Amino acid sequence: MVNLSAPDLTQHPPRSVRVRLGGYAHLARLLDKARAVLAGKAGEFNYNCPIDERFFAFTGINQKTMLAAIKTGKTDVQMLKWVNAKSKRTAPEVIAWSAWFEQAGPGGAEGHEWIASVLNKHHSSRDDIRAFADLLDLDDYLSFGGKA
């Protein structure tokens, strides 16, 4: 059985960036990664990676402050309330940012190279991977036994 309050990301991936919590794309995944880090079970997943930094930049929340709040054992709903209190973003801003976030892709050569490296790692010939969300979903699937 999966323990979502202390996920073991060596056994299963975090939730998709597309799973929304309070309208925020990526928040559920970020919480899974933080909880796994705190439980010592993050595996290859990193808290405060460049994609997490996009969430922190949008919300204006400090990643260390958020990790401290997560460490108190707050539920998803409690963390959403905490994020909303700290962020001061409006619902339309959250909706627009989340839609953008799900479609955001590499803006330059470095991002394209990273996507290519992940596809090459899995020996995948997929040519429909355009956004980072696409790549993360595919990488999670393939890393835990899915077939390219």
Which residue, 5, 12, 136, is CA-closest to 70?
Answer: 5
- Confidence at residue 1, expressed as pLDDT on a 0 to 100 scale: 63
- Please report, for residues 32, 43, 136, the alpha-carbon distance to residue 75 in angstroms, rounded to integers and kept in the order given: 11, 22, 24
- Confidence at residue 143, expressed as pLDDT on a 0 to 100 scale: 86
pLDDT at 2 over 70: no
pLDDT at 69 over 80: yes
User: For the chain, what are the domain ranges?
Assistant: 1-89, 105-148
User: How much is the pTM?
Assistant: 0.90
Higher pLDDT, 96 or 110: 96
pLDDT at 5 over 80: no
Average pLDDT over the chain reads 92
pLDDT at 124 over 90: no
Which residue, 145, 124, 141, is CA-closest to 18?
Answer: 141
Strand stretches in the chain, DSSP E: none
